[in-house]
Structure 1
Amino acid sequence: MSQTPTRPSPGGSGPAGRAWRDACAAVLAGFAVMIAVAAAGLACAGAGSLPGGAFPRVVAAVVVMAAGGSVEVAGDAGLLADAGASLSVLPLSVSLAGALTTGYAFLRPLHNRAVTRPGELTARAAPLALLWLLALGGTALFARQNFALSTADSSLGDLGDLLGSAPTVGFRAALPATLFFGLLWILGLLLIALLVSRRAPLPAALVRFHAAVRPAAFATVVLLLAYVVLGAGVGLVAAVTQGHAARTLAVLLLGLPNLAWLALTLGFGGAWEGRVDGPFGLPVPQPLDAVLRGPGPSTVDVGSLAEQDPRAWWLVVAAAVLLLGAGVLAAVRSPARIRPRRHALHLGVALALATLTVCLLGRVQARLGLSLLGLGDVGGLGGRTDLTPVLWRTVGLALLWGAVAGFLGALAARRLRRRGLVDEAAAVARPHP
């Protein structure tokens, strides 16, 4: 018998070639989206007018930070002066846009079966991680620039001209740290994508964990995205009704999840500590800025915000409603045999882990100081901004609220299932004309 020869796949490539092609498409799409979002946000913030054609390099620096990289900030003020600066903040709007795009592109070729071999997942993840690091490394090499600080309106202006101590601040991506944290970022993204997607295949040894992990993980991700969508709606309304549209859009395009997920943690009782000194600060709502500008380190929670604006109590209502919705969603996507206490455990752990991640990613630390002859900050150019979570309180309450929401959601889903069965039986029993 003659056998029909096997036709090569398009482009003469087999599974390995397809894996590299899909990985290249995912990386290009992810970086293109991050660059577009970062450029739009920085343009709204006024960075397009930076001197020396620095705008593309600032965009590259924001993309590096969003992809898990590290950007170092340094200062110089001549022989008789010293400038110091540091910056640690993650533009989570850019990160989220890149994560959603890259995760979707990674999962799309896998939506064809329920079980796969571990080697196949590795063969698809490894090229994507490698290409991601190459793109991130190239972006990091481009992300460097120096700026001169204007002292025309400060007491340092004339003295700075005399002593040659005009201050400058520059940034550059730290390549080793960028590659290390960028690798953790992309591997974490791929793991979360596999955990969340119900259609993505799993190795046979892990299929038994499908019902325990995926519904709670999916519901938690939907909860986080729901807060982002609500925050976007509130921000757009504020941009239209309260003015400062460009600044508001810049915040939405660069740091919307930073504020939205902060609201989530505050809504279920979490707390953050921070302070703002000097002329610099955070682009945050006025009540939060007022709390942070207290005489010393301040605790940010619903109570302290409500002292500035009683509407802050609505954060608790929003958290209760959306967490209950997440509990129902997780229960509906789970097999009916799982008991409510198991749902409570699954969603509690998922929300606690998500909250821990949000707390680690949402921290803000910024410093800028200028000293002359060792006399400390002068010219009104120094300042600091800090915002860090109270981890034990915030993560602990996330575990508790997640467990309660999972339990109540399971009870509500059980009633929905029963109602659906009754309605279905009634429809079958109803005589047809």
Structure 2
Amino acid sequence: MSVRTLHDQAVSRHGWVQAVAAALAGLIAMVVMAVLGLWAAGASDLPQGAFPQVVAATVVTAVGGTVELSGSAGGLADTQVGLTVTPLSVTLVGALVVGAGFLRPLRHRAVAGAPELAGWAVRIAVVWLLGLLGLALAARKTFTVDLGDDTLSELGELFGVRPKVGFTTDVPLTLLLGLLWLAAVLALALLVSRGAPLPARLLRFQESVRPAAHAMVVLLLACVALGLVIALVVAATRGRARETFAVILLGLPNLVWLVFTIGLGATWNGHVEGPFGLPMPHVLDEVLRGDDTAALNLSSMAEYDGRVWWLVVVDAVLLLGAAFVMAARSPARMRAWQHAVHMALALVLTVLTLCLIGRITAHYGLSVLGVNDLAGLSGDLFLHPDIWPALGLAALWGLVTGFLGALAARPVHRRGETPSP
């Protein structure tokens, strides 16, 4: 019996154990991240013991699930509640852990058939859906909102105003979106890993697709790493460490990937009103907090802090580094203009993804007898990108940096090549 046959039998026998480990490790990592982030944000003080349910809802939204908010305040009052945001720190941790668990049993293979890869994916998906179902069923709660001082509380009792906020999940839609999220993570894991096996029919695409996909993942992780260093410095030197760690553990990619697209020249339209705010950097909150919808871009931010123009330099360095990595992992026979095209296409897809997942919408309002903003509890926050100009700028940046990165990588010796005499 060959070694390959023995390996296949071992994989078949222990496949479910490894699938359970990969799926559960991802869910546990996301839950831990959500618990720490929400605790740092002060959510452990929510009334009626709502903290575990909020943790479950956070993990559900991190994988694309839907959490529906509702509010009520008695017969003489009205509430409006809405929230659309993805805690991308939780999302990123889950994607990294699940992707690593998916690739680990395949790391010693050169080629794998489509049925084998599908089998691994199905095993992980079954466990994943069971875990996500439990979280979706747990993510529902209704609790009362405190009106504030004694006078407002007495008025609330007089008019029968007891503001309540509740949330629940659309379980079928959550399972569907969570399954699509998992499929995207597993597919991306296969694309970015040089050592991961592919079906024989797809091997011809790995020279053009894999280096570009790997470079984009390196680029996004480099943005997060740079943002993490800056956030830790801010926490150590400017105080408010707990709030800063809440941002790190829940929404650091939301912030740094937004800033990355702004450095490319993209514009985001938004508005902040009431108790909502953007914790870091302060210039974002300054631009968005006004009477009308504001354009958030390099020009508007420079009016408050001229140092934002350094974002262009930082983006240029990061993109040149990503282009160099892409070219160094590509065959030497590939020409510079081909690298430029690959870099442009990859960056356009990356920026499109960031624009879609980076949208933020939040609203809470309480009115009594037609009087709005009772107790200052009303607020709005939204942030949406101008997608088409952002994609055009991404294509331009990709062409330029892809070409320059290819030129810089020419002296690099590629694996598997023999030096010419």
User: Structure 1 length normalisation: TM-score?
Assistant: 0.92
> Following TM superposition, by how much is the alpha carbon of 1:23 offset from its aligned partner in structure 2, in angstroms?
1.2
TM superposition shift of 1:282: 2.8
What's the CA shift for 1:51?
2.6
Task: Give the structure 1 partner of residue 276 of structure 2.
Answer: 280
Q: Which residue of 1 aligns with 2:392?
A: 396
Is 1:249 aligned to residue 245 of structure 2?
A: yes
1:225-264, CA deviations, whole angstroms, 9 ceiling, x for partnerless residues? 0000000000000000000000001100100000111111
- 2:176 corresponds to which residue? 180
* 1:388-424 deviations in Å (ceiling 9; x for gaps): 1110011221122112111110011114459xx9xx8
Unaligned runs of 5+ in 1: 429-433
Cα deviation, residue 53, structure 1: 2.2
Partner of 1:222: 218
Bigger Cα displacement from structure 2, 207-216 vs 344-353: 344-353
Alignment pair present for 1:346 and 2:342: yes
Distance 1:417 1:127, change over 3 A: closer
Sequence identity, in percent? 53
* Aligned equivalents of 2:163, 2:316: Cα separation in 1: 49
Could you say which residue in structure 1 is the equivalent of 2:55? 59
- Pair 1:32-2:28 in alignment: yes
Whether 1:152 aligns to 2:152 is no
The alpha carbon displacement at 1:159 in A equals 2.6
Unpaired segments of 5 or more residues in structure 2? none
User: How far does the alpha carbon of each residue in 1:321-352 deviate from its partner, in whole angstroms, 9 at most, with x for none?
Assistant: 11001111100000000001111111111111
Q: Is the 8 A contact 2:148 2:375 kept in 1?
A: no
Q: Does the 8 Å CA contact 1:219/1:330 hold for their aligned counterparts?
A: yes
* Residue 131 (structure 2) pairs with residue 135 (structure 1): yes
Distance between the aligned counterparts of 1:141 and 1:17, measured in 2? Answer: 32
SS at match of 1:255: helix
Secondary structure in 2 aligned to 1:114?
A: coil
The CA distance in 2 between the partners of 1:80 and 1:143, in whole Å, is 29
- Are 1:275 and 1:293, in contact at CA under 8 Å, matched by a contact in 2? yes
| Aligned residue pairs, count | 417
- Mapped pair 1:371 → 2:371: no
1:405 to 401, 404, 416: 401
Aligned Cα root-mean-square deviation (Å): 2.3
Instruction: Summarize deviations over 1:89-134 as a string: whole Å, max 9, x none.
Output: 0000011011101100100111122211111111111111121111
* Partner-residue secondary structure (3-state), 2:108: coil
Q: Distance in 2 between matches of 1:113 and 1:403?
A: 34
Structure with greater Cα Rg: 1
Q: Distance in 1 between matches of 2:271 and 2:137?
A: 33
Contact 1:140/1:178 (8 A) holds in 2: yes
Q: What amino acid maps onto 2:318 in structure 1? A: L
Contact 1:155 1:379 in 2 (8 A): no
Name the CA distance, whole Å, in 2 between partners of 1:240 and 1:90.
Answer: 27
Contact kept in structure 2, 1:363 and 1:389, CA below 8 Å: yes
Greater CA drift, 273-282 or 81-90: 273-282
Identify the residue that residue 356 of structure 2 maps to in structure 1. 360
- Match among 15, 18, 22 for residue 14 of structure 2: 18
What is aligned with 1:266?
Answer: 262
Q: Tell me, what secondary structure is at the counterpart of 2:201? A: helix
Mapped partners of 1:283, 1:9: distance in 2:
51
Aligned equivalents of 1:317, 1:154: Cα separation in 2:
53
Distance, in Å, in 2 between the alignment partners of 1:344 and 1:8 is 44
Partner amino acid, structure 2, of 1:275: H
**Superposition map of 1:223-242 within 5 A:** 223-242=219-238
Q: Distance in 2 between matches of 1:387 and 1:119?
A: 42
- Whichever residue aligns with residue 114 of structure 1, its letter is A
Detail structure 1 runs of 4+ shifted over 6 Å in the superposition. 7-10
2:101 matched residue in structure 1? 105
Structure 2 CA distance for aligned equivalents of residues 410 and 288 of structure 1 = 35
* Mapped contact 1:282–1:385 kept (Cα < 8 A): no
Equivalent position SS for 2:83: strand
CA shift, 1:70, in A, is 1.1
The secondary structure found in structure 2 opposite 1:410 is helix
Q: Distance in 2 between matches of 1:233 and 1:181?
A: 32
Q: Work out the CA distance in 2 between the residues paired with 1:153 and 1:306.
A: 40
Within 1, Cα distance between the matches of 2:354 and 2:126? 26
Q: Secondary structure at the match of 2:133?
A: helix
Q: TM-score, normalised by structure 2?
A: 0.94
TM-fit CA distance, 1:284: 3.1
Question: 2-side partners of 1:191 and 1:154: how far apart?
Answer: 56
Q: Find the counterpart in structure 2 of residue 48 from structure 1.
A: 44
Whether the 8 Å contact between 2:71 and 2:80 is mirrored in structure 1 is yes
DSSP-derived class of the 1:115 partner: coil
Find the residue that maps to 1:116 and give its secondary structure. coil
1:318 matches 2:302 = no
Query: Cα–Cα, structure 1 residues 61 and 125, in superposed 2: closer, same or farther, change >3 Å?
Result: same
